[in-house]
A and B are shown apart, each in its own frame.
Chain A
Amino acid sequence: MSYLSERAERTPPSGIRRFFEIAEEMEDVVSLGVGEPDFSAPWPARKAAIEALERGQTSYTSNRGRRDLREAIAAHVTRYGHDYDPDEEILVTTGVSEGMDLAMRALVDPSDVVAVAEPAYISYGPDASFSGGEVLPVPTRAEEEFRLTYDALERAGAERADVLVLCYPNNPTGAVMGSDGLAEVASFAREHDLFVLSDEVYAALTYDGEHDSIATLPGMRERTLVFNGFSKAYAMTGLRLGYAMGPPEIVGAMNRIHQYTMLSAPTTAQAAAIEALQSCDDAVADMREQYDRRRRFVLSRFREMGLDVFEAKGAFYVFPSVPGDDEAFAEDLLREAEVAVVPGSVFGEGGTGHVRVSYARSLPELREATDRIEAFLAAER
């Protein structure tokens, strides 16, 4: 007899686990499988964390997060057209991951339907399942550059959904959506009364124009939670800090759960985050400039190899299509060319036939990795 809950029993291991184990045994892998920046957090943010520790700031903060941090967040997000009340509409969480989990717990009842635009970050589905929700994949298409459309929602039957999860700029595809495209999604959500969970953790990493948020479109603020955080823009993944913004009753409900499950987000990280918001815009701009050059570099290299790849304009991923089965391709590439990429099917139906390539690596490493991929493809053909 197993002591495990049914929920634990039916939670599948992450699709990248197997690859991780193969790579561990190898000596000279260049990994383009990384989902986090290669930079360290900007020094002023790290220093603020160190100073907070030196001052002995090692206690809890208020459940919602330090008030000065929430105020700084409220001021910061005005650049995306947001206007949230730091007292009632912002919750500081242990990464976006916790925020997403809280949102599902606050919004999803057993048998509620959670539509997830795919390919998608691997947590949304399991988060919905933990609350007993039914996951409804909404595949997006390579020929539409992986943007979520009204048609895609209709094709998937998303009108019966209660909640819709989307992430732009997108992990794993690097796709971005402008306000026109988002307006279609917003119409669908309003017409069918969907609540929207918009993961915008890559908002600062857009390379062509400004980031647009669905929550700023008419009639959307009251039915949207926006998630953002410090992991990607400020290279602070290990500090585990994010935030959720939305209507007071929803954020309040999330906070009620949060106070029992997490109490408060990491105190040291909150000190770093305040400094990041106050003084690290230039550092973020520098990192964005570096990513943008690498992005162009890898896109040109894949095109030179004759791989079909759309021009990803956000995050730090490109998503080329590969010959044959994407999982077999990723495994052969790892074993034979010692280059790690993540098979697209790990991110859901829409990702089949593609691989996620992260360019959060130095240019010399990207050059080496793309040379190896080129040689691998030539040998396969």
Chain B
Amino acid sequence: MDERRRVLDVLCEDARYTPEDIARQLDLEPEEVAAHVEALEDAGVVRGYTAVVDWAALDDDVVQAKVELNVELDRETGYEDISRRIAKFDEVTAFQLVSGDYDFALEVRADSMNDVSRFVSEEVAPIPEVTQTVTHYVMDTYKDAGIEFEDGERDDRLSYSP
């Protein structure tokens, strides 16, 4: 595996690793790591860094939903055109074109179920090309961005063993 890819893999494991931490793990110089990360960012491979949050653990009410979206294209309008209009909404946290029974998969986050349904019915559904929406509220999250949300497997190993 090439060096840049190895840096990317370690970065995906924990984006808060410092260049020094990554360098130590891969036998590189911190400057080399920093250069790889910069190149990944410049090339648009790494698009940003964020926290992985278990919203249910927060006292504030946060509601997440997955929304399936069907659209009808015409000669003037392609997926790209529709996607540009939908991606700009702050409520949309993830947005992908998918294969299968529907066209787009959206992830929506808002303060209440009302806010989510208002957003879908007032902002998304009225878009002329949109023919159908199906909203699934997230009931519980077990894993996100590779991180399991269960209360950590306890390390029950002895502190000393031969």
Residues of A within 8 A of B (CB): 14, 16, 19-20, 23-24, 29, 31, 33-36, 38, 40, 121-123, 171, 293-294, 296-297, 300-301, 340, 342, 363-364, 367
Chain B residue numbers with a CB within 8 Å of A121 are 162
Contact between chains at A29 and B159 (CB < 8 Å): yes
Alpha-carbon separation in the docked complex, A31 to B26 (Å): 24
B162 touching A35 by the CB < 8 A rule?
yes
**CB within 8 A of A340: which of B27, B153, B155, B159?**
B159
> How far apart are the CA atoms of A235 and B15 in the complex, in Å?
27
Chain A residues whose CB sits within 8 angstroms of the CB of B21 once the complex forms: 297, 363, 367
Chain B interface (Cβ < 8 Å from any Cβ of A)? 10, 13-14, 17, 21, 23-27, 153, 155, 157-162
Contacts A38-B155, A293-B10, A363-B14; A33 near B27 (Cβ below 8 A): no
Interface residue from A20, A296, A300 paired with B159 (Cβ < 8 Å): A20
Contact B162 A34 (CB under 8 A): no
| Chain B residues whose CB sits within 8 angstroms of the CB of A40 once the complex forms | 153
Q: How long is the Cα–Cα vector from A293 to B13 in the complex, in angstroms?
A: 12
**Contact between B160 and A297, CB atoms less than 8 A apart:** no
B162 and A31 contact, CB distance less than 8 A: no
Chain B proximity of A29: nearest CB distance (Å): 6
Which chain A residues border B159 with CB–CB below 8 Å? 20, 23-24, 29, 31, 33-34, 340
Q: How many A-B residue pairs have CB under 8 A?
A: 59
Given contacts A293-B10, A297-B21, contact A16 B26 (CB under 8 A): no
Q: A354 → chain B, closest Cβ, in Å?
A: 16
Shortest distance between the CB of A346 and any CB in chain B (Å): 8
> Which 7 A-B pairs rank lowest in CB-CB distance, beginning with the nearest?
A293-B25, A300-B24, A31-B159, A33-B160, A35-B161, A23-B159, A16-B160
Q: Which chain B positions have C-beta within 8 A of A29?
A: 159
B26 and A293 form a contact (CB under 8 A): yes
With A38-B157, A297-B21, A301-B24 given, name 8 new contacts (CB 8 A). A33-B160, A34-B160, A38-B155, A40-B153, A171-B162, A293-B25, A293-B26, A296-B26
Please pick, from B14, B26, B158, the residue contacting A34 in the complex, using a CB distance under 8 A: B158
CB distance A363 to B25 under 8 Å? yes
Contacts of B23 in A (CB 8 A): 300
Question: Is the Cβ of A340 less than 8 Å from the Cβ of B25?
Answer: no
Q: Least Cβ distance of B13 to chain A in Å?
A: 8
* Residues in B neighbouring A296, C-beta threshold 8 A: 24-27
